């Protein structure tokens, strides 16, 4: 932060290219996909602090005291506008924020996600259901203050652990997913679905992958670590679209992907076969013409790399948030050669880089 954005972007591309120098030729790099410098983040995951009626929403300092971040410049405008009334609503609940040091209190986090139309998903993370009735009963007040709220849930995190949510989710609204309109595809986010934090850059990422996939005209595509199905569903909209099968460990995300696929089929936007299954991506059989992978920071690892190396895929599209593990994985795929590489700046004002590569053989 503090460096001109153009300098940040140039430095970030140079750093990613250096990390990948052994596996990506300099001429394979194309111009980076830039972001807005501020106002780009579509979600806020806020730790609660303070006391009932005067709750802080943000982070905890070194002494476990709440630091309020409602004025953070990273949030999209619709999200930034919603946080003050959301804070008022949280204060009115009268819940005791969780005290990490003393291990007491009920209110742990507030998660808020905004879509391109300004609609919101609000998740209140509680320690237990002892005070959950306060949240349920206050739903009309929340909708009065913020009519654009589409989904509201209570998430339960009883354990004293460094996690942002727990496995149990109670949906309080009739709507259970937040639609994310990205050009030709409207993805659906469930409360526990992963989605990139930068909506505009995510759309650019999916569109670039779709265009690279189109060049190879694959008959079949396997989308591993598919999340809510962005890569596979964008590919399914091609004029000559491959059959698409996605695999993801999160059942919530798979349900969202199936929801979107059903809508696109009903609207005639896609006509190809599109399926999604819950499962471990590392154990999926890579038996498609084209494979797309979007793994966590640790990468795909030796086992899946060996499966891809042995498999029939002619094209690999790899989206990575960690150039170091991307380099290690590409080194495990000697039969593939990187034809294109592009940086997508999901996280301005940081050194983090999202890199998309197209590898062929």
pLDDT digits (tens, 9 = 90+) for 263-297: 999 999 999 999 999 998 776 676 799 999 999 99
Together in a domain, 210 and 168: no
* Whether 152 and 210 share a structural domain: no
Domain membership of residue 182 (yes or no) is no
Q: Give the per-residue pLDDT at 194.
A: 85
Which pLDDT value is given to residue 30?
Answer: 97
| Interval 11-59: pLDDT, tens | 999 999 999 999 999 999 999 999 999 999 999 999 999 999 999 999 9
Residue 355, judged by CB atoms within 10 A of its CB (0-12, 13-18, 19+), counts as: buried
Per-residue pLDDT, 286: 66
CA angle (259, 182, 80) in 5-degree steps: 105
Same structural domain, 213 and 331: yes
- Specify the pLDDT at position 282: 72
Beta strands 185-189; 220-224: pairing state: unpaired
If asked whether residues 25 and 101 sit together in one domain, one would say no
Q: Average per-residue pLDDT in the chain?
A: 95
**Judgement on whether residues 100 and 130 belong to the same structural domain of the protein:** yes
Specify the pLDDT at position 234. 98
CATH number for position 145: 2.40.50.1070
The per-residue DSSP string of 8-52 comes to: HHHHHHHHHHHHTTTTS-GGGB---B---SSS-B-EEEEEEEEET
Range of the domain at 283: 5-37+198-360
Residues 82 and 118 in one domain: yes
CB 311 within 8 A of CB 286: yes
**Domain match, 32 and 59 both:** no
Q: Give the Cβ contact number of residue 132 at 10 Å.
A: 17
Residue 281: per-residue pLDDT: 78
Q: Is there a single domain that holds both residue 156 and residue 293?
A: no
CATH number where 271 lies = 3.40.50.150
pLDDT recorded at residue 77: 96
Query: Does any domain span residue 148?
Result: yes
Beta bridge partners of 151: 121
One domain for residues 319 and 208: yes
Are residue 138 and residue 55 in the same domain, yes or no? Answer: yes
Same-domain pairing of 132 and 212? no
Residue 183 lies in a domain: no
**Active-site residue 72, yes or no?**
no
* 200, pLDDT greater than 90: yes
How far is residue 173's CA from residue 69's CA, in Å, rounded to a whole number?
A: 27
When divided into structural domains, the chain yields a total of 2
Out of 72, 226, 290, 321, pick the active-site residue. 321
The reply to whether 188 falls in a domain is no
Residues 21 and 130: their CA atoms lie apart, in Å, by 55
Q: Are residues 26 and 68 in the same domain?
A: no
Query: How would you list the strands of the sheet with 66-68, edge to edge?
Result: 66-68, 54-60, 43-51, 107-114, 120-126, 149-156, 168-171
């Amino acid at each position: 932060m503090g460096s001109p954005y153009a300098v940040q972007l140039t430095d970030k591309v140079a750093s990613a290219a250096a990390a990948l120098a052994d596996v990506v030729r300099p001429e394979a790099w194309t111009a980076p996909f830039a972001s807005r410098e501020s106002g780009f983040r579509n979600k806020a995951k806020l730790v609660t602090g303070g006391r009932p009626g005067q709750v802080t929403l943000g982070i905890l300092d070194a002494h476990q005291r709440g630091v309020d971040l409602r004025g953070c410049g990273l949030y999209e405008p619709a999200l930034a506008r919603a946080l003050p009334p959301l804070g008022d609503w949280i204060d009115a609940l009268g819940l005791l924020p969780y005290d990490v040091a003393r291990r007491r209190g009920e209110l742990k986090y507030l998660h808020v996600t905004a879509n391109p139309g300004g609609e919101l998903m609000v998740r209140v993370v509680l320690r237990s259901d002892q005070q959950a009735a306060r949240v349920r009963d206050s739903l009309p007040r929340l909708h009065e203050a913020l009519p654009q709220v589409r989904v509201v849930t209570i998430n339960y995190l009883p354990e004293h652990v460094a996690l942002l949510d727990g496995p149990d989710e109670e949906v309080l609204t009739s709507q259970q997913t937040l639609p994310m309109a990205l050009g030709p595809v409207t993805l659906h986010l469930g409360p526990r679905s992963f989605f990139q934090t930068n909506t505009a850059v995510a759309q650019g990422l999916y569109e670039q992958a779709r265009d690279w996939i189109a060049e190879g005209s694959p008959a079949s595509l396997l989308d591993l670590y598919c999340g809510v199905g962005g890569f596979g569903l964008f590919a399914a909209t091609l004029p000559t679209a491959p059959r698409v099968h996605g695999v993801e460990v999160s059942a919530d995300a798979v349900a969202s992907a199936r929801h979107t696929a059903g809508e696109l089929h009903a609207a005639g936007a896609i006509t190809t076969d599109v399926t999604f299954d819950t499962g471990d991506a590392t154990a999926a059989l890579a038996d498609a013409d084209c494979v797309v992978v979007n793994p966590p920071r640790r990468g795909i690892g030796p086992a899946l790399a060996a499966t891809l190396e042995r498999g029939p895929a002619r094209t690999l599209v790899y989206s990575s948030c960690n150039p170091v593990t991307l380099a290690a994985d590409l080194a495990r795929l000697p039969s593939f050669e990187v034809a294109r590489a592009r940086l997508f700046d999901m996280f301005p004002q940081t050194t983090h880089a999202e890199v998309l590569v197209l590898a062929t053989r």
